[in-house]
Amino acid sequence: TPIVDDPYWFGQIAAANAISDVYAMGGRPLTCLNLVAFPSGKLAPEILHQIVAGAVDKITEAGAVLVGGHTIEDDEPKFGLAVNGIVHPDKLWTNAGAQPGDGLVLTKPVGSGVLFNAAIKNWVSEDALAECIAHLTTLNRVACETMQRFPVNAVTDITGFGLTGHSYEVARASGVTLQLTMDRIPMMRDALEMYRRGVNTGVNPHNRRMVQDHLKLEGDWPDWHREILYDPQTSGGLLAAVPGEAAD
């Protein structure tokens, strides 16, 4: 339904999400290739045109170019990008270098997963949904370029595995423990309220299972509040492990 409501921002979010992988490695995107599945017998071609138009605007904003694409017929619309970028081999970021004493910097709030599901029920205010879309259509370009001015030990982008899932990947790859403080985690407006009202996502249980044997929860947080830790993000922010003074 959201695709039909505004396919232009769907294309923007999809492009920002795909390009984010390049920024998470400290790179610069160069070329993009559209990958499209579309039910031409069910949806008007103008919808696909708007999806691609939204993607092209984000690709252009990133300083990259669209070089072509592939389209197939499918009952369910799907859209993504294959992105190529460039990075100096001595300046490549990975998720494997976090060090004891590093500070963690998160560049976007979390909560888009539950907000999208709650929007289907018309429970999310127009302002909260507009803020959510603004976050998701924002490229990680400025965050990447800002981090490049500082020593950075490890970076990942927060996407489908949620905050704890991607944090666990950094912890495992780096051989460290990551400590998150619940009341310092930036959250999108109304996201916690939607969990309190009983909304969830189909991905939260998977993300919870992925980390449950490696996660220690402290504090008297209700179960619905803890769900924000597993909320799947689309076009989420970068999570960076940065030496203490640089993190400040």
pLDDT in tens, 75-116: 999 999 999 999 999 999 999 999 999 999 999 999 999 999
| Residues 170, 37: Cα–Cα separation, whole Å | 33
Residue 2, pLDDT score: 52
Q: Is it the case that residue 159 has pLDDT exceeding 90?
A: yes
What confidence category does residue 3 fall into, taking pLDDT thresholds of 50, 70 and 90?
low
Q: Is it the case that residue 36 has pLDDT exceeding 50?
A: yes
User: How much is the average pLDDT of 222-245?
Assistant: 96
Each residue of 111-130: pLDDT tens digit?
999 999 999 999 999 999 99
Query: Strand, helix or coil at 74?
Result: coil
Which run of H or E residues covers position 183? none
Written as six digits, the tokens of 69 are 């694409």
Contacts (Cβ under 8 Å, ≥6 apart) of 202: none
Give the rounded percent of residues in the chain with a pLDDT score beyond 90: 96
- Answer for the pair 12, 55: CB distance below 8 angstroms, yes or no: yes
Average pLDDT, the chain: 95
Task: Read off the amino acid at residue 23.
Answer: Y
What confidence category does residue 244 fall into, taking pLDDT thresholds of 50, 70 and 90?
confident
Residue 1, pLDDT score: 46
Query: Strand, helix or coil at 27?
Result: coil
Handedness of CA 118, 129, 122, 120 (dihedral sign): negative
